[in-house]
Amino acid sequence: MSPLAPAAAQSAAPLAATSRDYKLAVTKVVGGLVHPWSLAFLPDGAMLVTERPGRLRLIENGKLDPEPVAGLPAVFAQGQGGLLDLALDPDFAKTGLVYFSYAEPRQGGAGTTLARGQLVREGGKARLENVEVIFRQEPALPGGIQFGSRFAIASNGTLYVTLGDRRQADLAQKLDNDVGKVIRIDRDGSIPKSNPFVGRDGARPEIWAYGFRNGQGAAIDPATGQLWTVDHGAKGGDEINHPEAGKNYGWPVITYGVDYSGAKIGIGTSAPGMEQPVYYWDPSIAPSGLAIYDGALFPKWKGDLLVGALKGQILVRLDRENGRIVDEERMMKGLIGRIRDVRVGPDGAIWLLTDEENGGLYRVIPAKS
């Protein structure tokens, strides 16, 4: 039995939901989380959750530790800013390293920052030690929106990080900054020599791909090693992409959406030298969180993409065949609230976080017939 199963067993009776392939049991494992943003599974069955106001929380045996994990840096917790994504080092059992991203207060405003620290749990308390910043988005900008900030760790240990356009859309098309980009760095923050813009005058060497608005989902396909991302659009134009080295994904020159005022953005939906999304939504579902299903509990969904939605309050499954998205299924509409993050657990269950003042952690498994 998975070490995570007992935590769910202590929770309230599950809610019922349906999909085309399965009846679903949706169990609230923990409540009382303040705008939770990301989730990571520890080897012993405990979990870490980030709360956007700047707290890292530990969940053990289905219970939320009342004391936040100590040792985090100052966080710019305004608007959409705060403590954001989270992942364990691939060698966590040896290093104890936890990676996390956050909106960092700086001169000129704030910017998305990636840091790491060693998780220490002793005497009933948890803390991060030896915290060090390994990347800072440049430049820092005023305002509290569109920080992006999902990251995924590839099998070779490099990190892909999504960086929002901070409502400075034109910067997403320029290579002298980190705004509206996907970057790639090594785990210590150094730049891989194989990055596409290394050595190009005027270009930041960490850039992997550019022309994005507000990437709020990132995952590595466990079967192919390919990076997939979710870009949160304006009014329409949410996108699924698999960013490739050096390519331009169009924002704000091309998009399938319009501004919130209804005004046109850019020149249309296509342009030479700019990539088309693999999939897009119009009208918007306000997507956040992305997982590629590779567990055993839902065998019919192997390789499918799972996307959370804030506006729609739904879990979206994108049916993938031969690398193409061939169908979409929307599940759990309004059942638990605004879904901020989606993860596949070691037990094969689907785990969800709801972005609410009183947010929750939920576990989704096939219902017993």
Residue 131 in contact with residue 73, Cβ under 8 Å? Answer: yes
Domain boundaries along the sequence of the chain: 13-33+287-368, 34-143, 146-284
pLDDT given at position 161:
98
The whole-angstrom separation of Cα 49 and Cα 86 is: 8
Long-range pairs for 256-259: beta carbons < 8 A, 24 or more residues apart: 256/280, 256/282, 257/233, 257/282, 257/284, 258/234, 259/234, 259/235
Record the tokens describing residue 124, joined without a space: 């009933």
pTM for this structure? 0.95
Instruction: Output the pLDDT for position 6.
Output: 35
**Whether 314 contacts 328, CB under 8 Å:** no
174 and 212 in contact (C-beta within 8 Å)?
no
Q: CATH says 146-284 is which class? A: mainly beta
Q: What is the pLDDT of residues 23-78, one digit of tens each?
A: 999 999 999 999 999 999 999 999 999 999 999 999 999 999 999 999 999 999 99
The domain 34-143 having CATH identifier 3.40.640.10: the answer here is no
Beta strand 47-51 pairing with 36-41 = antiparallel
Output b/e per residue, 70-91; b: 16+ Cβ within 10 A: ebbbebbbeebbbbbbbbbbee
Placement of tokens 């992006």 in the chain: 148
d(CA 333, CA 318): 16
> How many CB atoms neighbour CB 225 within 10 A?
10
Q: For residue range 100-150, list pLDDT tens digits in order.
A: 999 999 999 999 999 999 999 998 899 999 999 999 999 999 999 999 999
What torsion, rounded to 10 degrees, do the Cα atoms 197, 229, 140, 138 define? -10
Return d(Cα 185, Cα 68) in angstroms, integer: 29
Beta carbons of 264 and 246 less than 8 angstroms apart:
no
Count CB atoms within 10 A of the CB of residue 316.
Answer: 24
Cβ atoms of residues 149 and 84 within 8 Å: yes
pLDDT, one tens digit per residue, over 270-280 is 999 999 999 99
| Confidence (pLDDT) at 157 | 94
Contact criterion met (CB below 8 Å) for 17 and 314 = no
